[in-house]
Amino acid sequence: MDQIKRRLKWHHFVLAVILLSSFILNFYRLGQEGYGNDYYAAAVKSMLENWHNCFFNSFDPKGFITIDKPPVGFWIQTISAYIFGFKGWSLFMPQALTGLLSVAVLYRLVTNVFGRGAGLLAALFLAFTPIVVATDRTNEVDSLLMFLTLIATWAINKAVERDSIKWLLFAFFLVGVGFNIKMMEAFLILPAFYLFYVKSVTSSWPKKLAHLLCATVVLAVVSFSWSFLVDTVPPNQRPYIGSTHTNSMMELAIGYNGINRLVGQHRQWGRLNLWSHLGFSQDQQQWSQTEGNGRNGNSDTSYTSAFSTSYSTSPHFPGMSSTTPSSLTRGEIGKPGILRLFITPQLNGQLSWFLPGLLFGVAALLWGTRLAGILDQKRQAVIFWSVWVFTMVIFFSVASNFSSYYMVMLAPGIAALAGAGFIEMWRQWCAGTARALLLPLALVCNTAFEISVVWKYPSLRIPVTIIVGILSLLALIGLAINATGERRPPILALLSAVITVLTAPAIWCYTPIEYRGAVSYPFAGPELQYNQEHEFMAINAKLENYLRANYREGSYLVATMNAKSAAPIFLHTHLPVMAMGGFMGSDPALSVRKLRTMASKDEIRYFLIPANPPAYQQTAVLNWIRDNCCVIPSTKWSDQDSSMRDMQSSWVLYEYVKKQKENSHGNSHSPFRYYSSL
């Protein structure tokens, strides 16, 4: 027993408290989030149906179209749902668990180089990063990618320590697996990996370059293997590749989930015929160019499902200043610019709390470093994490098409540098060196930044400013006790500084628990109290009963224009629903010829279409439905209570009936007239 007590030192207790805090933030009330993002939840449910759907990452159980992401993250969710049953929390659990494990892995990575104090601070900062907590509590797969990249970081550290190509190959193998979780987002860590290996390994240049070449080959093979296999399967034997215009997984990887994230618009890949030249020629169809960017706040009325109710608010929230944007649920990211992460309200409260202190910390860690010379282990690690952060800050500062929760990938780098930097500044203050003033400067700047963020929220402005100000003052007084460096400042000064930095982020982290999270575009913050994106199902029982009563075994229950309106219907009825145009409704997945054939074979009969669909949705398909189907009066399928009144004017239910064509005798027909004559 005495031996166990000796081993359990103070840092074990502190680490246990940090991990317990992370566990509570990630798992407490996890079941309140419903199914999370219905789009991805529907895909997991479809993947549980059979191996074909599972391999191709199919959105619907009949394998018509895929989702817009690669499969590895959703395979893990599918395994969880298979073991624990298809429930919301079983879909969230892999992300919540890997978020917790990421805190532990980061502690070990930082501790190995900078010591226990730095490791504990880094773990604490990651555990209390608001966007990380918000994303850990959803079925978005960014948390899985973050964990995998941290394991890859551990592997490349082993490669450097042992000058081992095996560990290097393993690290790049893991990055390749990460590509099959979130595609090009996984490659954001590669500049740090390449530079770290080049600067840290003492081997000859030819040997280092040979090793990196081999690692790059492994990376390419692992990254593109699944996409290549999917593209080699004939189109009629697999689902259409969602969010593409050429039915190519390579386009999804390099276009939609690659270049488009940077430039912010959909390129007309089909007109370029790029993939045709590469041997991936698919059924080329006419399509309308997507107008705008659905992930950057442009309205799309078809997003609102017939089964869903979205709560909206007035242009400005109660308790918020008039300068604060009213909604984060569409993933607004502000204007591109080098200060975007500092001045954009939708971003600075999610991730940037520790950035001011980080800048001073890096200065303390690299003071006097000559990059052209041989670096010690600490400086090598600082360069690694600095390149990690710098690469992603540049990307997120200039990119035009991403959601705030993508920044989860940036969080470990910020936490590692902030933790190591604060400890280094503390040591320099205790030693009374020329760098001693960096710590109080960092504390003052970080406090000022936190107050500037909180100031936009009148309900929080006074109490948080008072708390942060008092704590910051206590920390500065504690530091001033020993301005000459003759004795160590009281530990209270360091604790006050840490609590000062964590106060506002902790409030933000708690909001997804208190108010429920935004499921499609995760974020944290007081906005959740007034502007939540709860896609819970306000079920129209009459529509459900109508469709069920007329459902034919083996067919689709109904078809909608996009996946956002199809997913809730499928999740509630457990019957196949077709998303004719994929996620946004703009994918040319269904030609008029194919639709006509399916309708004539009784594979599809009902169509639930927005009364005023966006211009970019499939005009030819919509015109065929309007010309060849009957409009079913809303009195037959729509509940008349107040919660469903808007639905009657927003949606139209069509029915295809073979008899219509037989009895029309070439005359122009009115769908309303024909239906009433039946």
Strand 606-610 with 558-560, pairing: parallel
CA-based angle 241:562:524, to the nearest 5?
95
Distance CA 509, CA 133 (A): 6
Q: What confidence tier does 677 reach under pLDDT thresholds 50, 70, 90?
A: very low
Q: List the structure tokens of 179.
A: 């590509």
What predicted TM-score, i.e. pTM, was given to this entire model? 0.87
Q: Reply yes or no on whether the pLDDT at 296 is more than 60.
A: no
DSSP H helical ranges for 432-488: 438-454, 458-480
DSSP output for 495-510: HHHHHHHHHHHHHHHH
Average pLDDT over residues 494-523: 90
Domain boundary among 528, 549, 579: 528
Task: Round to whole Å and give the CA distance between 355 and 393.
Answer: 11
Burial degree of 580 (CB within 10 A; 0-12, 13-18, 19+): buried
Q: For residue 477, is it within any domain?
A: yes
pLDDT-derived band of residue 322, with 50, 70 and 90 as boundaries? very low
Question: What per-residue confidence (pLDDT) applies to 659?
Answer: 56
AA identity, residue 337 = G
Of 95, 136, 70, 56, nearest to 513 (Cα)? Answer: 136
φ, ψ (nearest 5 deg) of residue 136? -60, -25
CB 604, CB 559: distance < 8 Å: yes
H or E segment at 213?
helix 205-232
| Model pLDDT, residue 299 | 34
3-state secondary structure string, 149-165? HHHHHHHHHHHHHHCCH
Question: In this structure, are residues 172 and 217 in contact, taking their beta carbons and an 8 Å threshold?
Answer: no
Residue 290 maps to a domain? no
509 and 550 share one domain: no
Looking at the fold, whether 515 and 554 belong to one and the same domain comes out as: no
Distance CA 568, CA 545 (A): 15
DSSP assigned state of 273: T
Q: What is the mean pLDDT of residues 62-79?
A: 96
Judge if 153 and 54 occupy the same domain: yes
Q: Please check whether residue 205 lies inside any domain of the structure.
A: yes
Q: How many domains, in total, are found in the chain?
A: 2
Residues 454 and 421 reside in one and the same domain? yes
Residue corresponding to tokens 């879909």: 91
409 and 524 assigned to the same domain: yes
Average pLDDT of the residues in 141-150: 97
| Rg of the Cα atoms in the chain | 27
Q: At what angle do helices 411-431 and 438-454 cross, to 10 degrees?
A: 140
* Token digits of residue 158: 């082993």
Cα 473 to Cα 151: distance, rounded to the nearest angstrom: 39
Distance CA 242, CA 256 (A): 10
Residue 511 counted as domain residue? yes
Provide the pLDDT for residue 671. 43
Indicate the length of the chain as a whole number. Answer: 678
Structure tokens of 600? 């004539």
Least confident of 161-170, 247-256, 297-306, 518-527: 297-306
CB 170 within 8 A of CB 177: no
Contact 536, 34 (CB under 8 A): yes
- Do 181 and 207 sit in the same domain of this protein? yes
Q: Name the amino acid, one letter, at 602.
A: D
In single-letter form, the type of residue at position 11 comes to: H
Percent of the chain with pLDDT over 70: 80
Amino acid (1-letter code) at residue 671: P
- Report the sign of the C-alpha dihedral through residues 356, 362, 368, 370, in that order: negative
pLDDT at position 55 is: 97
- Tell me which residue range forms the domain holding 656: 541-677
Structure tokens belonging to residue 271: 């007109």
| 601 and 497 in a common domain | no
First and final C-alpha spacing in the chain? 85
Supply the pLDDT for residue 482.
65
Q: How far apart are CA 70 and CA 523, in angstroms?
A: 23
**How would residue 314 be classed by pLDDT, with cut points 50, 70 and 90?**
very low
Q: Which 3 state secondary structure label does DSSP give 217?
A: helix
Q: Is residue 243 situated within a structural domain?
A: no
The residue among 499, 528, 557 that closes a domain is 528
Residue 298 lies in a domain: no
d(CA 188, CA 172) in angstroms, rounded, equals 13
The answer to whether residues 631 and 675 touch, using CB atoms and an 8 Å cutoff, is: yes
Tokens of 107: 């502690």
Residue 251 lies in a domain: no
Please, what is the average pLDDT of the chain? Answer: 83
Q: Are residues 550 and 636 in the same domain?
A: yes
Q: Is the pLDDT of residue 499 over 60?
A: yes
> What integer pLDDT is reported at residue 525 of this predicted model?
92
In 3D space, the residue among 376, 361, 379, 494 whose CA is nearest the CA of residue 419 turns out to be 361
For residue 292, give both structure tokens.
């705008």
CB distance 634 to 653 below 8 Å: yes
Q: Which long-range contacts (CB under 8 A, 24 or more apart) does 547-555 make?
A: 547/573, 547/575, 547/606, 547/637, 548/573, 548/575, 550/605, 550/606, 551/575, 552/602, 552/605, 554/603, 555/602, 555/603, 555/604, 555/605
The pLDDT value given to residue 374 = 65
**Of 179, 131, 130, 127, nearest in space to 152 by CA:** 179
- pLDDT tens digits, one per residue of 251-277: 999 988 888 887 765 444 333 333 333
Is the pLDDT confidence value at 666 over 70?
no
Identify the pLDDT of residue 330.
42
Answer yes or no: is 234 within a domain. Answer: no
Neighbour-count burial of 312, counting CB atoms closer than 10 A to its CB (0-12 exposed, 13-18 middle, 19+ buried): exposed
Q: Across-strand partners of 558?
A: 577
Which of 483, 507, 528 is at the close of a domain?
Answer: 528
Rounded Cα–Cα distance for residues 244 and 391 (Å): 27
Least confidently predicted of 86-90, 376-380, 417-421, 554-558:
376-380
Whether residue 524 is found in the same domain as residue 567? no
Q: Both 547 and 488 in a single domain?
A: no
Same domain, 666 and 563: yes
Residue 502 phi/psi, 5-degree rounding, is: -90, -15
- CA 515 and chain centroid, separation: 20
Do residues 497 and 610 both lie within one domain?
A: no
User: What is the DSSP code string of 330-355?
Assistant: T------STTHHHH-HHHHHHHGGGH
Q: Which helix H or strand E contains 606, and what residues bound it?
A: strand 606-610
Q: Quick: pLDDT tens for 200-232.
A: 888 889 999 999 999 999 999 999 999 999 999
